[in-house]
């Protein structure tokens, strides 16, 4: 009898432990990073708004600040971000109308020790790169799972291509040394906000991302590639219990 009760207790303890692990809040590090990044925002600034589940926390936080009286203009990097920002009452401008952007806050799929990144998991890479390039300061929010020694270790590299030339681009990208697959959604090709398709490229660990970016950009039909080289100025890394801010060494 006693042995049976002891076994049940041990089983319950083990289930409770498992449950605690299962209910780990994966959003917490993203929220922490977003919160810290918003401390960089100043009244009157033009803000680039990134895309994805991490950037979403920053946009929601910015919405709260705007409701409390902060005056900013924002440039969205996707239609999803634009819709969210509109709902939150954040004043929006197109990239063409905004001029120079003071600070862009975005997420990333992978970041290497030199702050080079793979982006485009959400398919917004082209607008994300353009908004980042128009920005004085680029702040990238990640949790520690995004930090890698070499890009391509955990993610495929998204490349946005013109639908008209997607098969040719896929063949030429395969010649660069990687199998490619056309991204799909609900059984049809995924269509970006720019009306293009995405080829996800399995390069594996990339030794020279800057050189690869140049070669990909020469492929006919390629609109933009998800390698972001020398773009991130600051990383805000959310952990379960803290936030770390790292500046790119120049």
Q: Which residues bind ligand 5RP (CB under 6 A)?
A: 50-55, 106-109, 119-125, 128
8 A C-beta contact, residue 213 and residue 197? no
- Please report how close the Cβ of residue 72 comes to ligand 5RP at its closest, in angstroms: 20
User: Residue 118 and residue 155: Cα distance in Å, rounded?
Assistant: 8
Nearer CB in complex with ligand 5RP: 168/190: 190
CA distances to 61, 105, 132, 232 from 102, in Å = 18, 10, 10, 14
Instruction: Find the shortest distance in angstroms from Cβ 168 to ligand 5RP.
Output: 24
* Shortest Å distance, C-beta 18 to ligand 5RP: 26
Considering beta carbons, is residue 106 or 200 the nearer one to ligand 5RP? Answer: 106
Q: CB 92 → ligand 5RP: shortest distance, Å?
A: 18
Residue with smaller CB distance to ligand 5RP, 109 or 213: 109
Q: Is the distance from CB of 112 to CB of 151 less than 8 angstroms?
A: yes
Closest to ligand 5RP by CB, 70 vs 213, is 213
CB of 19 to ligand 5RP, least distance (A): 25
Give yes or no: 68 in active site.
Answer: no
**Cα(218)–Cα(215) distance, integer angstroms:** 5
Question: Residue 121: which of 150, 158, 160 has the closest Cα?
Answer: 158
Catalytic residue among 82, 110, 128, 213: 128
Give the CA distances from residue 117 to residues 28, 141, 142, in Å, rounded to whole numbers and listed in that order. 22, 12, 11
Q: For ligand 5RP, which is the closer residue by CB, 70 or 200?
A: 200
92-111 residues labelled b (16+ CB within 10 A) or e (exposed):
eeebeebeebbbbbbbbbbb
Q: Could you list the active site residues?
A: 128
């Amino acid at each position: 009898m006693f042995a049976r009760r002891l076994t049940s207790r041990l089983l319950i303890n083990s289930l409770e432990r498992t449950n605690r692990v299962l209910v780990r809040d994966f959003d917490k590090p993203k929220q922490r990073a977003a919160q810290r990044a918003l401390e960089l925002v100043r009244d009157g600034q033009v803000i680039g708004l990134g895309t994805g589940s991490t950037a979403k926390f920053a946009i929601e936080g910015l919405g709260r600040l705007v409701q409390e009286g902060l005056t900013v203009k924002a440039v969205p990097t996707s239609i999803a971000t634009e819709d969210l920002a509109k709902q939150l009452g954040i004043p929006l401008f197109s990239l063409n109308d905004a001029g120079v952007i003071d600070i862009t806050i975005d997420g990333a799929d992978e970041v290497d020790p030199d702050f080079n990144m793979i982006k485009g998991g959400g398919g917004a890479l082209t607008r994300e790169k353009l908004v980042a390039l128009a920005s004085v300061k680029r702040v990238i929010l990640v949790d520690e799972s995004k930090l890698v020694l070499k890009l391509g270790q955990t993610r495929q590299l998204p490349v946005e291509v013109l639908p008209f030339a997607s098969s040719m681009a896929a063949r030429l990208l395969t010649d660069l040394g990687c199998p490619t697959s056309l991204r799909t959604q609900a059984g049809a090709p995924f269509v970006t906000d720019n009306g293009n398709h995405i080829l996800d490229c399995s390069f594996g660990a990339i030794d020279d991302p800057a050189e690869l970016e140049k070669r990909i950009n020469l492929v006919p039909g390629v609109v933009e590639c998800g390698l972001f080289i020398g773009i991130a100025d600051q990383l805000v890394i959310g952990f379960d219990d803290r936030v770390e801010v790292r500046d790119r060494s120049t």
